Amino acid sequence: AQKITQTQPGMFVQEKEAVTLDCTYDTSDQSYGLFWYKQPSSGEMIFLIYQGSYDEQNATEGRYSLNFQKARKSANLVISASQLGDSAMYFCAMREGGGGFKTIFGAGTRLFVKA
């Protein structure tokens, strides 16, 4: 069965520093997609970054990068130069390949950015 594990319930980071949010996954599929979403206290889910299982390079989107280690089944999110507005809940998610419907989410990590 597919599973996403986020082992950090909460993380603190100083403003302007980098932070890594951990995510490990388990699947028997060869084709899958990994996503990170941000959820501020207002509730909306904001897509941040995507990594495909066949992508050889780590994904980057502005201050977000994904440290993809396929053999270890990990897909950690790195946020560089943290800003106060980065304080939010962050979810790692996996979608089955082949145009599959279902996306499963990890339990989330709440990030607190300190001024």
Nearest to 73 by CA among 5, 18, 1: 5
State the nearest-atom distance from the C-beta of 67 to other proteins, in Å: 19
What's the min distance (Å) between Cβ of 96 and other proteins? Answer: 7
Report the residue from 21, 27, 32, 90 that binds other proteins according to the rule CB under 8 A. 32
Q: Strand, helix or coil at 85? A: helix
Region near other proteins per CB under 8 A, out of 11-19, 20-28, 37-45, 60-68: 37-45
| 81 lies in the binding site for other proteins (CB under 8 A) | no
The first and second tokens of residue 10, run together, are 């909460």
Q: What is d(CA 95, CA 31) in angstroms, rounded to the nearest whole number?
A: 9
Instruction: Give the nearest distance from C-beta 97 to other proteins in angstroms.
Output: 5
**Binding of other proteins at residue 71 (CB under 8 A)?**
no
Count how many Cα atoms sit within 13 Å of the Cα of residue 54 in the half-sphere of its side chain.
6
Q: Which stretch binds other proteins (CB under 8 A): 18-26, 62-70, 78-86, 87-95?
A: 87-95
Distance of CA 25 to the CA centre of its chain: 11
